[in-house]
C-alpha cells in the first residue's frame, strides 16, 4: 500500500486558483486529505452495488478494474485477428506501450499519474481491421480515501476502426481520487470513437486526461458525459498532426447539489485542411458549478482549417454558476474559425407553449432538457449506450 | 466641436506654453531618473499638493513595490526599466532638427493624410523643441460657456488646487491605488491629466476633448483622468493620442476613472495612435492603461475605441454596473500591423438587476502582428435578469499574423442571459475581386472592405473623430496587401 | 471591339479553355451557350482578370489594348464589366459608397475630377428606376441580405452606373423568377447602344426571349463549336446539347 500523503512533495506544485488553467477548479479540499492506493489482492471481488457491466444489453468486450486493478474474471477480452486487447500488466516484450504525452511534465496531476500509475487498457488495432464490438473499460472506485491511477493506451493502425467506451463508477460511501490518462494515436485513414462516461457516487475527485494524436485523414469522434460526479475534471487534448483530419467532440454535463464539473478541451491544428467541430452543453442545478474551457489553436502552417466550437449553458437554479472560456488562437490566415458561447435559462416561451398544451411544468422542462441534450446524445453511435445515458440522466433529475 | 476648432485650440494652448517659457522652467526642474519615495515627495511638492494626496501617492507606491508586473496577457516584450525613466517630465537633450526636411518622409506622409497642419507636423515630429509637453489638457477657451452650466473641465493638477474636495471624494474610487501594477505606479507618480465634472441634470453641450502626447524621449507618461457625471447628466468625452517616432520604447501607463451617477450617461471615445514602432518592431510606445467606470442606477457608460498605434497595448476599458438598470457598452476596433502586439478588450461586471452590456470588438491583424481580444463578462448572484451580448470578430490580412480571442464568461444567476460569438477569417478574396472588377484598385478595395467590417464601431464615434479614425485605419494597413 | 484569339486557360491543372476564338463588334450582342462545364464561366472570369485562372496561350484585345496584361481593376476602368453569377456580399460597405468609389476610380483613370454629389445622385436615381431597385436596397451594404433577384438587379444597376464598353453577363438569369427576369432584361435592353457590346452567357434559352442576341455561340470543351443567329438558341432549347457533341464526334 502506498500512502499518498507525500503527494504534495511532487516536483510540480499542485495547481492553485492562481494558475490560469485551474482558476475555476480549486482542489484545496483534496489536498487536505490522506489518500492511499488499494492494496487488496487481484481479483478481490467487485461490489454489490454496481454491476460489472454498467450498460445493460450492451454487447461489448469488457475490461473491468476495481480501484485501478484489473479483474480478470469479470472481464471479457476479444480474440480477433489483428487485434491486441489486454490489460497492460499482461503485455510483454516489444508490445509494451511507450507513452509519449508530456502531461506528466507539465501538470501536477499528470506527474501523479506517472508516479503511481497502475494498470489499464492496451489496445492495438492492425491495418484495415474493424473490431466488431466496442471495447468497454469499466472502472470502479470502492472504499474510503482511495486513489487510483489508470493509464490506457490505444493505437489504431492505417484504415483500422474501433469504438472504446470508458465508464467510471463508484459506490456510495467511497471517497478519494480517480486520476486517469488515456493516450491514443490514430494512423492515416483510421477511425477512433471514444465515449467517456462518469457516473460516480460518493466523494471522488475525478481527473481524466485524454491525449489524442491524429495522423493524416484520420477521424476521431468523442463524447464526454458527466452523468454524476462529486468533483470532475475532464481534459481532452487533440493534436492534428497530418492534413485532412476530422475531429468531432461533444459533451454534456448536468451537475446538481454541490457538484463541480470542469471540461477543458484543446484542439490543436498543426496541419492543413483539418476540420473540427465541438459542442458542449451544460445545465447547472442546485448550487453546482460548471466550467467550460475550450481552446482552439490553428498553427502557422495549418491553412484551410475549419474549426467550429459551441458551448451552451443553462443556469437552472439560484446558487448555481457557470464559468466559460472559449478561446481561439489563430496563426494562419486562410481559415474559418468561430465559436459561440451562451448562458441562459430555459426558454420561457417554449415552456409556456408546452404548458398551454396541458403538459405540467416538470414534464415540460424534461422535454426541453431532452431537446437540449439531443444534439449531443443523438450522435453517440451505440444505441444501448445512448439509451442508458439518457435513462440515468432521467432517473437522476426525476424527469 | 469641429475638427478645425479643435486644432486651433490645440495650437493655442501649445503656443501659450511657449509664450510662458515653459521649456526653461521644466529643464531646471529635472529630477534624476529612477523611482523612490523621495521622487514622489518631489513631484507632490512641485505640484503644491495637499498632504492627503501625498499620503495617497505614498500608499500607492508602497503597494506597488510589493507587486509584480503582470504576465498573463498574450504579449511578449522586454519589460521597461523603470529606474531609467524620469518620472518628472524631464526632456533629454537631443539633436534638434532644423527643418521638416530632416524628418522621416514616411511620418510626414502619414501626417499629411491625417490632415495635420504643417505647424502641427513640426511639433509632432519634434522639430520645434520648444513644444515640451507630455500631456496637454485642452478646453480652456470654452471655459466660460461651460462655467455657466457649472461644468468643470480642467487639468487634474488645477482641479487638485481649485476643487480638492471633489478630487478627494472620487479619485481612486473606481481604480483603487493597488488595483494592478501599472495603476499603482500611476497612482504614485501621475503628473497631470484631465478632470471633468458635470453637475446634476446638465447635458454638456459640446464634446470635451483631450489630446495626449508623449514628446520627449526617455520619459514615461502617467496621466490620470477623472470624470464625474452627476445625476441625470450627460457628457461625451474624446481622447486622442499621438506620439512622435522614437527608436526606444516609451511607457504610457494611464488611468481613467469614470463615475456615472444615477441616470447619467458618459460616452468616452478614444482614437489611440501612439507610435507603433518601425517595421522591424524597433521603438514604439508600451501602452499599459487602466480604464474603468462605475454606473449607478440607470446610468450608462459607453467606451468606444479605435486602436491603431502602440508597440504593445494592454488595455481593458471596463464597466462596473452597480446600479439597477445600468448599461455598459464597449465598441472597439483594434488594428495591428508589422510587429505590433495588442491585448485588449473589456470587463463588464454586472452587479445590479436588469443591467445590460454590449460588446462589439473588431480585430484586424496584418504583417507579423498579434492581436488578442480578452474580455470578461461577470454576472453576480444579485444581477437578476442581466443581459450581455458580445461579438468578437477577427480579420486576418497576412499568413504571418495572429488573431486570438479569450473571453471569460462567469454567470452566477439563473436569469442571466449571455450570448457570445466570435469568428476569425481571412479578408475575402472574392470581395476584393468584386471591387477590382468595378475598377477599384486592390489597396483601396481592402480599405473599403475593412472600413465596412469596422463600420458598427466607427458609427459610434462622434463625426469628426470618425473621419480621423477611418483615415487612420487605412494608413495603418498600408502595405499589408498580400 | 473585342478580339479573342486562340485563348487557352486553366485552373490548377485543369485545362478549361482550348483555343477559343471570338470577335465582338460595337453594338453587337453575343450569346454564349453550352452545357455545364463547357467553360462559359471561365471565359467570363478570364475576361475580367480573375487571378486563379491562368492564361497559357492566345490573346484578348479590347479596342487594341491587350487586356491580359492588365490587372482586374484596370480592365474595369478600360470598360469591361462583369455581371457576376454569384455577386458577393460586402458587409458594412454601402452600395452607394461602393459605386461612388468605382465611378471616381474610372474618372481618375480618365483624368477627370471626382463626380459631383448632385450629378452622382441624379445618375443613381436614373439607374435605379431602370431596374426598379428601391431606395432601401441602394442604401444597404453591397448585396448584404439581398435576395437572388435583388442581387442580379443590383448587378445591372451597377452596370448602368458605370457605363462600360463591354458588358459580360455571367448566367444572369440563374435564380431569377419571371418578374425579375423581365426587369433585368429591360435594364439590359435599355443599355444596348451602337457603341456598347454584350456577351451574355447562359445555359438556357429563356433569357434570350427577352434579350434578343445578334449571334449565338455554342461552347463545348473550351472552344466555340457552333455559331449562328438567334434561331440557334431555339434549336438548342429544342434538342439539347447532345446533338452538338455528336455532330462534333462524327
Report the C-alpha gap between B152 and B164 in whole angstroms.
12
Q: Do C93 and B452 touch (CB under 8 A)?
A: yes
Of B404, B410, B414, the CB nearest to A320: B414
The pLDDT of residue B468 is above 60: yes
- Looking at residue B481, its pLDDT comes to 54
Residue, of B171 and B88, whose pLDDT is higher: B171
pLDDT band at residue B63 under the 50/70/90 scheme = very high
* Residue C134 CB coordination number (10 Å): 11
Q: Do B439 and C77 touch (CB under 8 A)?
A: yes
Of B333, B431, B439, B454, which to mutate for an interface test with C (greatest number of C Cβ within 10 Å)? B439
pLDDT band at residue B125 under the 50/70/90 scheme = very low
Q: Do A328 and B409 touch (CB under 8 A)?
A: no
What rounded mean pLDDT belongs to chain B? 80
- Looking at residue B16, its pLDDT comes to 28
Reported for C117-126, long-range contacts at CB under 8 A and 24+ positions apart, including other chains, are: C123/C161, C124/C96, C124/C99, C124/C161, C126/C160
Of C92, C99, C109, the CB nearest to B453: C92
A2 lies in a domain?
no
A1 lies in a domain?
no
Structural contact between residues B405 and B424, judged by C-beta atoms closer than 8 angstroms: yes
- Looking at residue A113, its pLDDT comes to 93
| End-to-end CA, chain B | 39
For residue A342, which residues of chain B lie inside 8 Å, CB to CB?
417-420
- Looking at residue B30, its pLDDT comes to 53
Q: Which of B256, B238, B253 is nearest to B173 (CA)?
A: B256
Helix count (H) and strand count (E) of chain C?
Answer: 10, 12
A56 lies in a domain?
yes
Q: What's the ipTM?
A: 0.89
Residue, of B9 and A399, whose pLDDT is higher: A399
Nearest chain C residue to B442, by CA: C73
For residue B456, which residues of chain C lie inside 8 Å, CB to CB?
92
Q: In chain B, what are the domain boundaries?
A: 28-476
- Looking at residue B273, its pLDDT comes to 81
Q: Do B452 and C71 touch (CB under 8 A)?
A: no
pLDDT tens across B371-409, in order? 999 999 999 999 999 999 999 999 999 889 999 999 999
Q: Do A333 and B412 touch (CB under 8 A)?
A: no
Q: Do B431 and C88 touch (CB under 8 A)?
A: yes
Which residue positions in chain A have pLDDT lower than 70? 1-9, 41-44
Of A293, A330, A348, which to mutate for an interface test with B (greatest number of B Cβ within 10 Å)? A330
Structural contact between residues B243 and B158, judged by C-beta atoms closer than 8 angstroms: no
The pLDDT of residue B210 is above 80: no
Number of domains in chain A: 1
- Looking at residue B91, its pLDDT comes to 36
Torsion of CA A84, A90, A95, A100, to 10 degrees: 100
Using CB atoms, which chains have 3+ pairs under 8 A with A? B
Report the C-alpha gap between B317 and B303 in whole angstroms.
7
pLDDT tens across B153-167, in order? 888 888 999 999 999
Report the C-alpha gap between A99 and B356 in whole angstroms.
49
pLDDT average, residue stretch B122-137: 33
Strand-pair partners of A87: A121
For residue A345, which residues of chain B lie inside 8 Å, CB to CB?
414-417
Q: Which domains does chain C have, with CATH numbers?
A: 2-249 (3.40.50.300)
Count of alpha carbons within 13 Å of B350, Cβ hemisphere only? 32
pLDDT band at residue B101 under the 50/70/90 scheme = low
* Residue B123 CB coordination number (10 Å): 24
Of B401, B403, B418, the CB nearest to A342: B418
pTM of the model as a whole? 0.85
Structural contact between residues A75 and A64, judged by C-beta atoms closer than 8 angstroms: yes
- Looking at residue B117, its pLDDT comes to 42
Which residue range forms the structural domain that includes residue A107? 7-397
- Looking at residue B360, its pLDDT comes to 96
Q: Compute CA C92 distance to the chain's CA centroid, rounded to the nearest angstrom.
A: 25
Nearest chain B residue to A287, by CA: B412
Q: Tell the burial category of A299 from Cβ atoms under 10 Å away from its Cβ (0-12, 13-18, 19+).
A: middle
Report the C-alpha gap between A335 and A306 in whole angstroms.
6
- Looking at residue B214, its pLDDT comes to 55
- Looking at residue B8, its pLDDT comes to 42
pLDDT tens across C137-190, in order? 777 899 998 988 899 999 999 999 999 999 999 999 888 888 889 999 999 999
A93 lies in a domain?
yes
- Looking at residue B142, its pLDDT comes to 62
Structural contact between residues A322 and A292, judged by C-beta atoms closer than 8 angstroms: yes
Report the C-alpha gap between C43 and C20 in whole angstroms.
9
A97 lies in a domain?
yes
The kind and range of the H/E element at B62 are: helix B51-65
CB pairs under 8 A between B and C: 84
pLDDT average, residue stretch B313-338: 95
Structural contact between residues B256 and B289, judged by C-beta atoms closer than 8 angstroms: yes
pLDDT tens across B225-245, in order? 999 999 999 999 888 766 555
pLDDT average, residue stretch C94-98: 89
At residue C19's C-alpha, the angle toward residues C18 and C25, to 5°, is: 130
Q: Do B456 and C81 touch (CB under 8 A)?
A: no
A373 lies in a domain?
yes
pLDDT tens across C13-37, in order? 889 999 999 999 999 999 999 888 8
For residue C92, which residues of chain B lie inside 8 Å, CB to CB?
451-456
Amino acid at each position: 500500500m502506498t500512502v499518498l500523503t507525500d503527494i504534495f512533495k511532487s516536483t510540480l506544485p499542485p495547481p492553485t486558483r492562481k494558475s490560469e488553467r485551474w482558476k475555476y477548479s480549486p482542489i484545496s479540499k483534496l489536498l487536505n486529505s490522506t489518500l492511499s492506493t488499494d492494496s487488496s489482492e487481484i481479483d478481490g471481488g467487485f461490489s454489490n452495488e454496481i454491476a460489472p457491466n454498467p450498460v445493460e444489453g450492451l454487447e461489448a468486450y469488457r475490461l473491468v478494474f476495481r480501484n485501478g486493478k484489473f479483474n480478470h474474471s469479470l472481464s471479457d477480452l476479444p480474440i480477433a485477428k489483428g487485434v491486441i486487447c489486454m490489460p497492460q500488466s499482461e503485455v510483454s516484450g516489444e508490445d509494451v506501450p511507450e507513452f509519449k504525452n508530456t502531461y506528466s511534465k507539465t501538470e501536477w496531476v499528470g506527474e501523479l499519474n506517472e508516479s503511481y500509475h497502475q494498470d489499464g487498457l492496451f489496445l492495438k488495432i492492425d491495418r484495415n481491421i474493424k473490431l466488431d464490438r466496442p471495447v468497454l473499460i469499466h472502472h470502479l472506485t470502492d472504499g474510503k480515501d482511495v486513489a487510483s491511477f489508470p493509464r490506457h493506451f490505444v493505437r489504431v493502425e492505417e484504415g483500422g476502426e474501433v469504438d472504446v467506451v470508458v465508464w467510471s463508477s463508484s459506490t456510495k460511501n467511497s471517497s478519494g481520487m480517480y486520476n486517469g490518462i488515456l493516450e491514443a494515436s490514430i494512423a492515416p485513414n483510421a477511425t477512433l470513437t471514444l465515449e467517456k462516461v462518469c457516473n460516480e457516487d460518493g466523494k471522488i475527485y475525478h481527473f481524466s486526461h485524454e491525449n489524442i494524436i491524429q495522423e493524416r485523414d484520420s477521424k476521431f469522434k468523442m463524447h464526454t458525459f458527466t452523468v454524476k460526479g462529486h468533483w470532475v475534471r475532464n481534459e481532452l487534448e487533440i493534436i492534428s498532426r497530418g492534413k485532412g483530419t476530422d475531429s468531432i467532440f461533444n459533451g454534456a454535463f448536468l451537475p446538481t447539489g454541490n457538484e463541480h464539473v470542469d471540461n477543458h478541451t484543446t484542439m490543436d491544428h498543426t496541419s492543413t485542411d483539418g476540420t473540427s467541430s465541438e459542442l458542449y452543453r451544460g445545465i447547472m442545478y442546485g448550487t453546482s458549478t460548471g466550467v467550460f474551457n475550450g481552446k482552439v489553436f490553428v498553427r502557422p502552417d495549418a491553412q484551410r482549417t475549419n474549426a467550429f466550437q459551441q458551448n451552451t449553458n443553462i443556469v437552472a437554479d439560484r446558487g448555481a454558476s457557470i464559468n466559460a472560456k472559449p478561446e481561439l488562437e489563430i496563426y494562419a490566415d486562410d481559415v474559418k474559425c468561430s465559436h459561440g458561447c451562451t448562458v441562459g435559462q430555459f426558454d420561457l416561451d417554449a415552456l409556456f407553449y408546452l404548458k398551454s398544451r396541458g403538459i405540467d411544468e416538470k414534464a415540460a422542462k424534461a422535454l426541453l432538457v431532452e431537446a437540449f441534450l439531443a444534439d449531443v446524445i443523438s450522435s453517440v453511435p451505440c444505441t444501448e449506450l445512448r439509451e442508458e445515458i439518457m435513462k440515468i440522466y432521467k432517473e437522476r433529475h426525476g424527469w | 466641436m469641429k475638427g478645425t476648432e479643435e486644432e486651433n485650440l490645440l495650437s493655442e494652448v501649445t503656443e501659450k506654453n511657449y509664450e510662458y517659457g515653459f521649456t526653461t522652467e521644466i529643464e531646471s526642474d529635472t529630477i534624476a531618473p529612477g523611482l523612490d519615495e523621495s521622487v514622489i515627495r518631489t513631484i507632490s511638492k512641485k505640484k503644491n499638493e495637499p498632504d492627503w494626496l501625498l499620503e495617497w501617492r505614498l500608499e500607492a507606491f508602497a503597494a506597488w513595490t510589493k507587486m509584480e508586473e503582470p504576465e498573463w496577457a498574450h504579449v511578449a516584450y522586454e519589460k521597461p526599466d523603470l529606474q531609467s525613466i524620469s518620472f518628472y517630465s524631464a526632456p533629454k537633450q537631443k539633436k534638434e532638427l532644423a527643418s521638416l526636411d530632416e524628418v522621416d518622409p514616411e511620418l510626414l506622409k502619414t501626417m499629411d493624410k491625417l490632415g495635420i497642419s504643417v505647424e502641427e507636423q513640426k511639433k509632432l515630429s519634434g522639430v520645434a523643441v520648444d513644444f515640451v509637453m507630455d500631456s496637454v489638457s485642452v478646453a480652456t477657451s470654452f471655459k466660460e460657456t461651460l462655467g455657466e452650466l457649472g461644468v468643470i473641465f480642467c487639468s487634474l493638477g488645477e482641479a487638485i488646487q481649485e476643487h480638492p474636495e471633489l478630487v478627494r471624494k472620487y479619485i481612486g474610487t473606481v481604480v483603487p491605488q493597488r488595483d494592478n501594477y501599472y495603476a499603482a505606479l500611476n497612482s504614485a507618480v501621475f503628473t497631470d491629466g484631465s478632470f471633468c465634472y458635470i453637475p446634476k441634470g446638465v447635458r454638456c453641450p459640446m464634446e470635451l476633448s483631450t489630446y495626449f502626447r508623449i514628446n520627449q524621449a526617455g520619459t514615461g507618461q502617467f496621466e490620470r483622468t477623472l470624470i464625474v457625471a452627476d445625476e441625470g447628466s450627460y457628457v461625451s468625452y474624446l481622447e486622442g493620442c499621438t506620439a512622435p517616432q522614437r527608436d526606444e520604447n516609451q511607457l504610457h501607463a494611464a488611468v481613467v476613472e469614470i463615475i456615472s451617477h444615477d441616470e447619467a450617461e458618459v460616452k468616452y471615445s478614444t482614437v489611440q495612435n501612439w507610435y507603433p514602432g518601425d517595421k522591424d518592431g524597433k521603438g514604439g510606445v508600451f501602452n499599459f492603461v487602466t480604464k474603468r467606470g462605475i454606473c449607478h442606477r440607470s446610468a450608462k457608460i459607453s467606451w468606444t475605441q479605435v486602436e491603431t498605434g502602440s508597440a504593445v497595448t494592454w488595455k481593458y476599458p471596463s464597466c462596473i454596473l452597480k446600479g439597477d438598470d445600468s448599461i455598459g457598452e464597449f465598441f472597439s476596433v483594434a488594428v495591428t500591423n508589422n510587429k505590433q502586439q495588442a491585448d485588449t478588450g473589456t470587463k463588464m461586471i454586472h452587479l445590479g438587476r436588469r443591467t445590460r452590456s454590449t460588446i462589439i470588438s473588431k480585430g484586424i491583424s496584418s504583417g507579423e502582428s498579434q492581436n488578442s481580444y480578452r474580455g470578461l463578462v461577470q454576472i453576480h448572484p444579485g444581477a437578476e435578469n442581466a443581459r450581455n451580448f458580445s461579438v468578437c470578430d477577427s480579420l486576418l490580412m497576412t499568413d504571418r499574423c495572429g488573431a486570438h480571442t479569450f473571453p471569460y464568461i462567469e454567470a452566477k444567476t439563473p436569469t442571466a442571459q449571455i450570448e457570445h460569438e466570435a469568428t476569425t477569417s481571412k479578408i475575402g478574396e472574392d470581395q476584393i475581386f468584386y471591387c477590382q472588377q468595378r475598377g477599384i484598385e486592390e489597396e483601396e478595395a481592402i480599405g473599403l472592405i475593412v472600413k465596412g467590417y469596422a463600420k458598427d464601431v466607427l458609427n459610434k464615434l462622434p463625426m469628426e473623430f470618425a473621419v480621423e479614425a477611418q483615415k487612420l485605419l487605412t494608413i495603418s494597413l498600408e502595405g499589408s496587401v498580400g | 471591339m473585342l478580339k479573342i484569339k486562340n485563348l487557352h486557360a486553366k485552373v490548377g491543372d485543369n485545362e478549361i479553355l482550348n483555343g477559343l476564338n471570338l470577335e465582338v463588334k460595337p453594338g453587337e450582342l453575343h450569346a454564349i451557350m453550352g452545357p455545364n462545364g463547357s467553360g462559359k464561366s471561365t471565359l467570363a472570369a478570364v475576361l475580367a482578370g480573375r487571378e486563379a485562372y491562368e492564361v497559357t496561350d492566345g490573346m484578348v484585345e479590347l479596342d487594341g489594348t491587350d487586356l491580359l496584361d492588365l490587372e482586374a481593376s484596370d480592365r474595369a476602368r478600360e470598360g469591361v464589366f462583369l455581371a457576376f453569377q454569384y455577386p458577393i456580399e460586402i458587409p458594412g460597405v454601402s452600395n452607394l459608397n461602393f459605386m461612388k468609389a468605382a465611378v471616381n476610380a474610372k474618372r481618375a483613370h480618365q483624368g477627370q475630377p471626382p463626380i459631383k454629389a448632385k450629378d452622382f445622385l441624379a445618375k443613381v436615381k436614373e439607374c435605379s428606376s431602370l431596374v426598379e431597385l428601391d431606395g432601401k436596397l441602394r442604401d444597404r451594404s453591397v448585396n448584404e441580405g439581398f435576395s437572388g433577384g435583388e442581387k442580379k438587379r443590383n448587378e445591372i444597376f451597377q452596370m448602368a452606373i458605370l457605363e462600360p464598353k463591354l458588358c459580360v453577363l455571367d448566367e444572369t438569369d440563374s435564380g431569377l423568377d419571371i418578374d425579375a427576369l423581365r426587369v433585368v432584361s429591360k435594364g439590359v435592353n435599355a443599355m444596348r447602344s451602337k457603341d456598347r457590346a454584350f456577351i451574355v452567357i447562359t445555359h438556357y434559352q429563356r433569357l434570350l426571349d427577352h434579350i434578343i442576341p445578334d449571334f449565338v455561340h455554342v461552347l463545348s470543351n473550351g472552344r466555340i463549336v457552333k455559331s449562328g443567329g438567334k434561331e440557334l438558341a431555339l434549336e438548342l432549347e429544342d434538342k439539347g446539347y447532345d446533338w452538338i457533341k455528336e455532330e462534333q464526334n462524327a
